[in-house]
Chain A
Amino acid sequence: MYTYTDFDKHFVRQRAAQYRDQLDRHLAGRLPDDEFRALRLQNGWYVQRHAPMLRVAVPYGELSATQLRGLARIARDYDRGYAHFTTRQNLQYNWIPLDKSAEVMDQLAAVDMHGIQTSGNCIRNITSDCFAGIAPDESVDPRPYGEIMRQWSTLHPEFAFLPRKFKIAVTGASEDRAAIGWHDIGLHLVKNEAGEIGFKVLVGGGMGRTPVIGTVFREFLPWQQILVFIEAVVRVYNRYGRRDNIYKARIKILVKAEGQRFVDDVNAEFKDILERDVDGTAHIIPQSEFDRVNASFVIPAGVAARPSTGIPMPADLPASYGRWIQRNVHAHKLSGYRAVTLSLKRTGQAPGDITDAQMELAADLADRYSHGELRVSHDQNLVLPWVLESDLPALWEAARSASFATPNIGLLTDMIACPGGDFCALANARSIPLAAEITERYQDLDELWDIGDIDLHISGCINSCGHHHSGHIGILGVDKDGAEWYQLTLGGSDGSAISGGPLAGKVIGPSFAADEAADAIEAVIDTYLSQRQGSERFIDTVKRVGLDPFKAATNAVRRTTARELPADTASASASASASAD
């Protein structure tokens, strides 16, 4: 993984010092709340229900065992002994007092970490495929490009106060595990017929109130030009993006409203930078810089393809080992190696949550089995990227005793969920109790396996941190008269091969009351099981039979909301409820 230079180390330390200066002025009453707010946000500090929340950047999801131990120490010494991995591969703390925040920034800097641009209306942490550099379906490793873009976007002076947040995701594999269509800029590294590397560039994707899939701006942009192209996109956005309405301020609205005119403006700006600006080509990435950064992303010393002996299947291990192999162990580009997901989806803990002790255990597993390296997945799990096939039985034993071995990756209980109303000041409803209720109901592994591949995504509000739009089943928390309600969507896709092209799910019926939501999910699952043909996946059944059977089944479990339904609701006409909320 990327090795910090002296400059990089000094830079994050000075960022911490700058933050301390701002905090001191704030605590001394010289920097009022609303002005300190924008500054602390750009270092990852929100103020939540109970205390400030800190979001720590995990660039493109790559993490060392040493860093994870540093994060564990912060959870233990400054928080209440746990933290939460997010869908954008970051880590969040919930209970750190604000007057300790500068100290925590120093602690992060000590392990080459920071909260720079993890919030605020700026270019956020760049996310990627959690199997970057190890996936067999990958043609170009996105990590060095991600690192070069991270450095370029860090403290960019022109783009710190954009109309709204700006998110970039990059992948280099044929399977999209980074949901690039849902990002402000989505980048897909590809090789052309001549074998040259370039980016397919999508612009203007996003979730929130108006889900939009990004538009292809370039089919093949030579990789050397990517920083200039992003600069052109962001400059046009900074100039024309709406600032009068927070819900219309993302670039997706501008791309939709302006259409070809926006594309033309970006292309003209790109040309002007290169042809007219002083040193306009200075940000063309030279091969030497790529090579310098790429040197950090070589295969770890001691790792080399070896003849595969197959996955060991010792007869004395229980069936759950076999299940773990099937769900939590993934193909690798190197023969003899596998990637292993440590599941952070289990009863008793919220999706993506991890205690300080579990962080230490995961760091130990990474040291012992994965050359000290881990990844954070978009689905809020941890991944060990360099595991020898022959180590799998021992790793399974160790992961199981650390509660990381639930064999549920890609299944219903491997759900994405935001922290919701238990923590988040923005949320309309809680996510965690509903996630817990669903997890409790689907504890039977046979049943879970029978249901098969399915993406369940839960967001506590329309900000969509839990990516409800892209779930095969999406749950959105809504507030009506101060009570928690849940809107259900079906058929969404993050853009993965199983799910089909990226697509926002469709709403089925009026929102469900809090005491109906889990029943409604169960009704959706039961409908799938009764309707599916052969080994058809959930998403394919939804596509084939449409929403009506699901509407009828979920309406049948309504109690609190039964009287709100129109009289002919059982027939569930396709247009009945799309605008229910």
Chain B
Amino acid sequence: MTEIIRVENLSKKFINKKDKTEVLAVDSINFSVNSGEIFGFLGPNGAGKTTTIRMLACLLKPTLGNAIINGMSILEDQEDIRSIIGFLTENHGNYENLTVKQNLEFFGQFYNIQNINERIENILEQFEMLDRIDMYAGELSKGLKQRLALARTLIHEPKILFFDEPTAGLDPIAAVKVRELIIKLKSRNRTIFINSHNLDEVQKVCDRVGIIDEGRIKRIGTSDEISKNLWEFRILEIKLKKLSEEIISQLSKFDFIKEVFPINGSIRIHLKDLEEFTPIIIEKIVKLGGKIISVEPIEHSLEDIYIKLMEDTKINQQSGEK
């Protein structure tokens, strides 16, 4: 896979005008995004997500560092970068006093699109909005406003898309539609960078995630990779036809197993390495006469990962204060 976004020691400092104090919103972050990937950028409010996305979209100049977008520097090639990216802002950003067509015409004309009217009709058809072409944007429902914003973002067929909280404030059905569109875009080989604090959404659509807090990257990778990195023990759930105390006590004797306990007719085992030790456990259960119905590794959800990371940060801060 080729790298399409490379972030190098990117930092942004703001100066609080009231008391002249400096606020380091983004602190020397490094990461990369591959072409055709959906990358989720997670973090609590004020973590530095929006500042990062604004720097990558050439809206804000970094205080230090650089980012290379499709081979171009955000310090030198701002106009060229802006012409190959699409940016869906947290607020839909449509002009409510303009019609759907006027909105798309306005944004489209800056990209030298051949036959813009045809392009507008095509994109509205894709977004099932062609019948609303002459409606004022202000008259659309929230979900349709977001679809118009997406259509606007895609009018020039950008290579890279930046989405800042794309489903914020949408009802569940509209949010599902937006997620489906994001997945569709991936199939068309678009690279998508999503800022979100909706963990479920990120888990559903993103290939990899970066977790940021207080301006620093805490972890980067697939949720599986981050999970392995965060927790020493993995969880295996084995459903048996009949649960016996003998099996639990025998399994507890293995030194690679940290803990075994029954749960809803199954047993949950905390162990160091799933791949290496699962066959040994199965063999032992079978030897002890246990009848296995299913064996399933329990993955940590992104929510578990996120909460653990944020808790770790708090603990580190508290110990630092002491």
Say whether A associates with B.
no
A→B interface (CB under 8 Å) = none
B→A interface (CB under 8 Å) = none
